[in-house]
Structures are given as structure tokens and as C-alpha cells.
């Protein structure tokens, strides 16, 4: 499998649009996103028709190194999009794009936003041009004269210019205060990506790296035999679509996965386990509050003792109320708290300690996740997790009622799969 990396000196330089442009021209390709981002991954999945995979050694542990080799038998190309700027990490351990590119020997393209630069663009970029760099893409030039001024300095220093993209709103993905629009909200994605791709010289593929396949053993799931009689329901619509592909793949190893839409009021016919991922439930609170069939299904499922995992947006949905511009709207009510919208973003990695056993964690276990939300929750229920890093719910996280666990943190289920699989099968 051929692999190429995409990075930049800073965030908002155009990594995602360049990644989409390249994927649009590579047959049998898949995207890989460094870091815990689920929005970029959803967008590239919509473009390729294949899952996009996260690679993050904080949330996945050592499993991160198996992601690319595990894909090599299925795909001809993988485009690995970096996180933030190339050297940015801001963590207790090195989680920068540069770390992954060096450790996994991934050659890369540097995307440089030149909208407010001329000759200085090269001198800013020069600190990011390591031996494994195969060239640059100059993004957001305003005129041919502007492009020539910028290009001259790169050419003078022997840096290959792989592409140049004009500064045009037509070439950008729409954003809101919560971040990029999700894949389910973006139209004409392929048209946009293909237009951008016309500004790129694809001969760089000759310098792409090679990842060899190897038999990746899944120790944590070796005891699990796929059972067609085990039914797993995953919420997926505009309100709930923040999922890591490795988590969904692991659930498919247990049983038959079906998707349902709480927004449309479509409860699954039957299920042994329900997974409510993150998303933007606050944007669709009115619709969610009116879909009594789904609420009733989730309440009954929880009260029966069958397991439910609800992450962030899923937790918000299972609380009693959500405060909105239309007033206090009734949510599912499995938990007894109130959700309030917040103008401030809570974003970052989390590290927690499990205070008592839950459907996902053992007592005393250190837990690694990620939080991303514009909300706060008031819920006095006993928590099963204590935050060592991250905010959670006033320094704690994890509410469990029966076998229903709600958390503000998002997790890679591949890391905590062994316990979860046993809970699902034991409660069948």
C-alpha cells in the first residue's frame, strides 16, 4: 500500500481540503487522521466510500502502530492527514504529526497558507522541510503575481512545488462555531475535491512510501467469536456521528451491527447493546425531544439491564433535560441531569481513573480518552471516573445506571474491548 502524509506549519492551513483533493484522484484509497478528530474522518469517508481511520497513541495506546499495516491488504493508497501544525502536541507525551511521520517513515507534503505572505512563506516553511518532505502545496494565493512572488523563493532553494490553490471560498469546507460541518451536512463534496485536485501535480505519487501488510493479532478479542444472534445498535444521523472506525470494527467482531436514527424517530427493532456516540444533539434538540418511540426504547433497554454506552452527545441525550433557546426540552431521562449550552469549547485529551467497575472499565484502571463539546452538565449522580486530566463533569466523569454508562469523554473501544465484549455477550 502506498502512503503519503499531509501536514502544515499551523492549523487552518488547508490540510483537509488538500487531503480530500488527493483522495478524490486515488482509486481504492482510504484516509487516516492523526489525532482524535472524527469530523475530518467522516468527511473523507463520504468522499472515498471507505472508512477513515484515526491513529492516536493516546487514545489507542500501542495499537496505533497497527493501523496502517492492517489496511495494507485492503487498499492501494492511504493519505495520512496530520493534526494542527506539524510539531504541535501540547501533551505529556509527543503526539505531534512529526512523531508519527518519523516513527512510521511516512513521506509528506507540506501545505502552506500564503494568503498573507510573499517571500516570507519559504522562510516560515523551511523549518518544516525535513528529508522526508517531497514538496509543498501553496494554498490561498490571490493572483498570478502573488503566486510568482511566493514561488520564486521556494524554487531558489530547490523546494518542489507540487501544487498551488487559489484563494476561493469554493475550495473551502463550511464551518460553524462548533467546527467544520459534518459529512452529513456537506453537499457537492466530490465536485469541490475534484476542482481542487486540478491544481495539483500528481506525479508526486512516485515518491509515496510503502506500508507492508502484516498479520495484526488482536489479543483483546481473541476470545470473542462473532455471533449473528448478537445485535448491536449504533445511533447514526446528523446528531450522532462521532465514531472511531476501529471502535465500529471491533463491534462488528462481536455481532451484527445495525444503524438507527434518533432524529427520525427510528428505534432499532431489537438489540443487545446500544452505542450512542458524540455529535451535535444540541442542534437537533427539538426533533430529539419529540421522538418518544426512541426515548421509550432506550429507557426500556436500560431498565432491562442490557448495556448502553453513551459518549458525550449520547450522554447529553440520555439526561433528563436540555436547556435551549426554545426552553427546557425533555430528553430521554435515563440520567437525572440537565444539559446547558456553553459558549466556551471544552477540548483536549482526558486521563481518568476508574473508581468502581463499569461496563467498560475495571476498578482502578487508568482510562485514556478525548473530550470535545460546547456544553455543561449538572448531574449530582455518583460518578464512576475521576479526572486526572480534562474537565469532565466538575472534575469527574462517567454516570452508570443499571448497565448504561454515559461519559463526556470519547474512547477508542479497541483499547477497552475485552471487558465490553464480555458485558455484551453475558447480557445477551
- So what's the pLDDT on residue 343? 80
**Predicted TM-score of the model (pTM):** 0.91
Percent of the chain with pLDDT over 90: 82
Choose, from 22, 312, 331, 399, the residue flagged as catalytic.
Answer: 312
At residue 179 the predicted structure's pLDDT band, cuts being 50, 70 and 90, is low
Q: What is the residue extent of each domain of the chain? A: 2-210, 220-426
Q: Is 152 helix (H, G, I), strand (E, B) or coil?
A: helix
- So what's the pLDDT on residue 365? 96
Which of the listed CATH numbers 3.30.470.20, 3.40.470.10, 3.40.50.300, 3.40.190.10 matches domain 2-210?
3.40.50.300
Residue 36 φ then ψ, to 5°: -90, 15
For residue 121, give every residue at least 6 positions away whose Cβ sits within 8 Å of its Cβ, in sequence order, or none: 112, 114, 138, 150, 153, 154
Q: What is the pairing mode between strands 29-34 and 53-55?
A: parallel
Please provide the distance, in angstroms rounded to a whole number, between the alpha carbons at the two ends of the chain: 39
379 or 185, which is more confident? Answer: 379
**Contact 421/275 with Cβ under 8 angstroms?**
no
Mean pLDDT of the 45-71 span: 93
Q: Name the fold adopted by 220-426.
A: Rossmann fold (3.40.50)
Q: Do the domains spanning 2-210 and 220-426 agree at the CATH topology level?
A: yes
Mean pLDDT of the 59-77 span: 94
The number of angstroms, rounded, from the C-alpha of 10 to the middle of its chain's C-alpha atoms is 19
- So what's the pLDDT on residue 221? 46
- So what's the pLDDT on residue 187? 64
At residue 225 the predicted structure's pLDDT band, cuts being 50, 70 and 90, is low
- Is there a catalytic annotation at residue 346? no
At residue 401 the predicted structure's pLDDT band, cuts being 50, 70 and 90, is very high
Angle at 241 between CA 361 and CA 246, to 5 degrees: 50
**Contact 404/318 with Cβ under 8 angstroms?**
yes
Asked whether the predicted pLDDT for residue 43 surpasses 90, the reply is no
Asked whether the predicted pLDDT for residue 209 surpasses 90, the reply is yes
Dihedral, CA atoms, 29, 10, 313, 321, nearest 10 degrees? -160
Task: Encode pLDDT of 115-169 as tens digits.
Answer: 999 999 999 999 999 999 999 999 999 999 999 999 999 999 999 999 999 998 7
Amino acid at each position: 500500500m502506498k502512503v503519503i502524509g499531509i501536514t502544515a506549519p499551523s492549523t487552518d492551513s488547508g490540510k483537509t481540503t488538500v487531503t480530500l483533493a488527493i483522495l478524490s484522484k486515488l482509486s481504492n484509497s482510504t484516509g487516516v487522521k492523526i489525532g482524535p478528530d472524527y469530523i475530518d474522518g467522516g468527511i473523507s469517508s463520504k468522499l472515498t466510500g471507505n472508512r477513515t481511520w484515526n491513529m492516536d497513541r493516546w487514545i489507542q495506546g500501542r495499537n496505533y502502530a497497527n493501523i496502517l499495516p492492517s489496511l495494507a491488504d485492503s487498499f492501494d493508497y492511504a493519505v495520512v492527514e496530520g493534526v494542527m501544525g506539524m510539531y504541535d502536541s501540547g501533551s505529556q507525551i509527543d503526539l505531534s504529526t512529526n512523531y508519527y511521520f518519523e516513527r512510521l517513515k511516512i513521506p509528506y507534503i507540506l501545505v502552506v497558507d500564503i494568503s498573507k505572505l510573499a517571500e516570507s512563506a519559504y522562510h516560515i516553511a523551511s523549518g518544516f522541510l525535513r528529508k522526508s518532505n517531497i514538496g509543498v502545496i501553496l494554498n490561498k494565493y490571490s493572483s498570478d503575481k502573488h503566486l510568482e512572488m511566493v514561488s520564486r523563493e521556494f524554487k531558489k532553494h530547490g523546494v518542489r512545488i507540487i501544487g498551488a490553490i487559489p484563494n476561493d471560498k469554493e475550495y473551502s469546507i463550511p464551518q460553524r462555531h462548533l467546527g467544520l460541518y459534518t459529512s452529513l451536512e456537506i453537499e457537492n463534496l466530490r465536485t469541490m475535491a475534484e476542482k481542487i485536485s486540478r491544481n495539483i501535480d500528481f506525479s508526486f505519487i512516485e515518491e509515496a512510501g510503502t506500508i507492508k501488510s502484516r498479520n495484526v493479532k488482536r489479543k483483546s478479542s481473541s476470545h470473542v467469536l462473532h455471533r449473528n444472534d448478537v445485535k448491536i445498535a449504533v445511533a447514526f444521523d446528523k446528531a450522532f456521528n462521532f465514531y472511531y472506525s476501529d471502535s465500529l470494527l471491533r463491534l462488528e467482531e462481536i455481532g451484527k451491527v445495525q444503524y438507527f436514527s434518533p432524529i427520525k424517530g427510528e428505534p432499532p427493532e431489537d438489540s443487545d447493546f446500544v452505542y450512542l456516540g458524540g455529535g451535535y444533539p444540541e442542534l437537533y434538540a427539538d426533533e430529539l425531544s419529540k421522538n418518544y418511540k426512541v426515548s421509550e426504547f432506550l429507557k426500556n433497554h436500560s431498565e432491562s439491564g442490557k448495556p448502553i454506552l453513551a459518549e458525550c452527545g449520547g450522554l447529553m441525550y440520555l439526561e433528563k433535560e436540555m436547556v435551549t433557546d426554545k426552553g427546557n426540552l425533555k430528553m430521554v431521562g435515563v440520567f437525572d441531569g440537565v444539559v446547558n449550552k456553553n459558549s466556551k469549547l471544552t477540548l483536549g485529551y482526558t486521563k481518568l481513573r476508574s473508581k468502581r467497575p463499569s461496563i467498560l472499565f475495571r476498578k482502578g484502571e487508568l482510562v485514556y480518552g478525548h473530550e470535545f463539546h460546547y456544553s455543561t452538565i449538572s448531574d449530582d449522580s455518583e460518578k464512576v471516573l475521576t479526572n486526572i486530566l480534562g474537565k469532565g463533569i466538575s472534575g469527574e466523569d462517567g454516570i452508570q445506571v443499571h448497565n448504561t454508562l454515559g461519559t463526556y469523554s470519547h474512547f477508542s473501544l479497541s483499547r477497552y474491548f475485552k471487558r465490553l465484549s464480555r458485558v455484551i455477550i453475558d447480557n445477551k
